Amino acid sequence: MSQKILIAGATGYVGGTIIARLLARPDAALQKVHLDLLVRTQDAADKLLATYGDRVTPILWAGLHDTSSIETIASTYDLVITVASGFIAPGAQAIVRGLVAHKESHPRSVPWMLHISGCTNLADRPITGVAEPGRVWTDEKSREVYDWCVAREAESRYPQRTTEIGVLSLADELGIHAVSLNTPVIFGEGEGLFNRQGLIIPTLLRYVLANGYGFKLNDTANFDWVRVADLADAYILLVKIILESEDRGVGTIPSGKEGILFPAVGRVLQTEIFDRCLDVCFDQGVLPREGTPAAKEVRLKTLREVADEATAGMLDLAEQGWAGNKAMTGTVLRKLGWELKHGVEAWERDFVDEFVALKEGRRAVTFESCIGTSKGSSY
Ligand SMILES: NC(=O)c1ccc[n+]([C@@H]2O[C@H](COP(=O)([O-])OP(=O)(O)OC[C@H]3O[C@@H](n4cnc5c(N)ncnc54)[C@H](OP(=O)(O)O)[C@@H]3O)[C@@H](O)[C@H]2O)c1
């Protein structure tokens, strides 16, 4: 019998890569998977069907704000992957409620939601609030991470964090299982049919090309990183465990308030990312040019400037992203069997790959699309 999985975010960088990689897997359990894919345009539906044929069924939806439809749709599944914008709490919680409805009509079912969120949730606020230098989160102590997030939310809400803790707490409260991959910088060419580019490196590289220098808010901001293919494989691993285990992974995959996992591979300072962007631009001979600094420079800026120039005007995201300490150590996924294929060499090579992609006009990412304030993609 085929196993139906619902995916929100099928046109995204992460979602598209999960779909492509999952459908290519030879594992018996995964070969039986049929993917129902939520999309906002008929064009996207047509392209998915034309490419993946009878392994997929596109479903047109209005998006994550249409909570009543989402709940109805999700109520016919016991496994949902939510890798659409991680910033829209009502929509993500409606999926939890849909899974609860599924459980009510199928009492023996063990519904799971595999969610995505991001490392800016975990950042300190060295400019407007409390700095926590040297702190490193570990997913072995996921409950501590969750509790800190709840405390931070009480002081000031941040939509991606509101969504993550909202999903995990509601899942616990209503008796279904949910795990959130709290994801660092994602890099590398995606493998889906639509958006194939990451956010951070293309954004920073574009900034360097436009201005001739990088920016910083301090010298301590950091990022962990993971290649998009490895991140997709982490989701596929969780799917496989759920499908192959007699207990549907309940005894092995942490869930709810214990279920914040870190698919993190390496760590750098933000200034190092800019150094690499500058290196590639100078090496390729496009910098310096008239009006730009003759030497490589990462310039100190104000929070307002960085929010406006590189973060869609959002001050909280700008501080958490470009100033915050958000170091994370992930070991739980590795213990579950996550096999990483891309390390430091792939990370370093990516800057040249991104430069070439930008030069060839293959890059158009915006913060608006990633955080979910765009109206839907037209590919
Ligand atoms: N990219 C990163 O470096 C990164 C790092 C850490 C965490 N994350 C998390 O991962 C999430 C997905 O990232 P991504 O890079 O895959 O983003 P992406 O390529 O921009 O894709 C966003 C996806 O979300 C969908 N979407 C956006 N707004 C929506 C709405 N209002 N209703 C329904 N669907 C909506 C888009 O669908 P349409 O095509 O219909 O617009 C698309 O499928 C982010 O929101 C963030 O929480 C990303």
The fold adopted by the segment(s) 3-197+225-264+328-338 is Rossmann fold (3.40.50)
Ligand 1 atom closest to the CA of 10, numbered from 1: 43
Which residues' Cβ are closer than 6 Å to ligand 1? 9-15, 40, 63-65, 83-88, 116-118, 160, 183, 185-186, 195, 198-200, 369-372, 374, 376-377
User: How high does pLDDT run on average in the chain?
Assistant: 95
* CA of 12 relative to ligand 1 center, distance in Å: 5
- Give whole-number Cα distances, 375 to 17, 61, 155, 263, 367, in Å: 22, 12, 30, 29, 13
Q: CA 235 to CA 103: how far, in whole Å?
A: 22
Q: CA 315 to CA 95: how far, in whole Å?
A: 29
Pocket test for ligand 1, best of 13, 121, 371 (most atoms within 8 A of CB): 13
Q: Read off the tokens for 333.
A: 């996924």
Q: What is the pLDDT of residue 365?
A: 52
Mean per-residue pLDDT for 245-253? 97
Q: Read off the tokens for 358.
A: 């930008």
Q: What is the pLDDT of residue 55?
A: 98
* CA of 86 relative to ligand 1 center, distance in Å: 7
Expressed in percent and rounded to 5, the helix, strand and coil fractions of the chain are 45, 15, 35
Pick the residue whose CA is nearest to atom 38 on ligand 1.
376
User: Where do the structural domains in the chain lie, given as residue ranges?
Assistant: 3-197+225-264+328-338
Ligand 1 atom closest to the CA of 118, numbered from 1: 7
Q: CA 79 to CA 32: how far, in whole Å?
A: 14
- pLDDT per position as a tens digit, 307-338: 999 999 999 999 999 999 999 999 999 999 99
Q: What is the pLDDT of residue 238?
A: 98
Pick the residue whose CA is nearest to atom 48 on ligand 1.
118
Please, which residues have CB within 8 angstroms of residue 59's CB and are 6 or more apart in sequence? 6, 36, 37, 38, 39, 73
* 364 half-sphere exposure, CB direction, 13 A CA radius: 8
Q: What is the pLDDT of residue 367?
A: 44
* CA of 8 relative to ligand 1 center, distance in Å: 9
* 273 half-sphere exposure, CB direction, 13 A CA radius: 30
Considering only CA atoms, which of 180, 149, 202, 200 is closest in space to residue 253?
180
pLDDT band at 162 (very low <50, low <70, confident <90, very high): very high
Reported residue count of the chain is 379
Q: What is the pLDDT of residue 91?
A: 98
Peptide bond into 133 cis (omega under 30): no
Q: CA 336 to CA 98: how far, in whole Å?
A: 27
Ligand 1 atom closest to the CA of 9, numbered from 1: 43
Q: Give residue 206's identity as a one-letter amino acid code.
A: R
Exposure b/e, 116-135, CB count within 10 A at least 16 = b: bbbbbbbbbbbbeeeebeee
- pLDDT per position as a tens digit, 18-65: 999 999 999 999 999 999 999 999 999 999 999 999 999 999 999 999
Considering only CA atoms, which of 9, 2, 13, 72 is closest in space to residue 364?
13
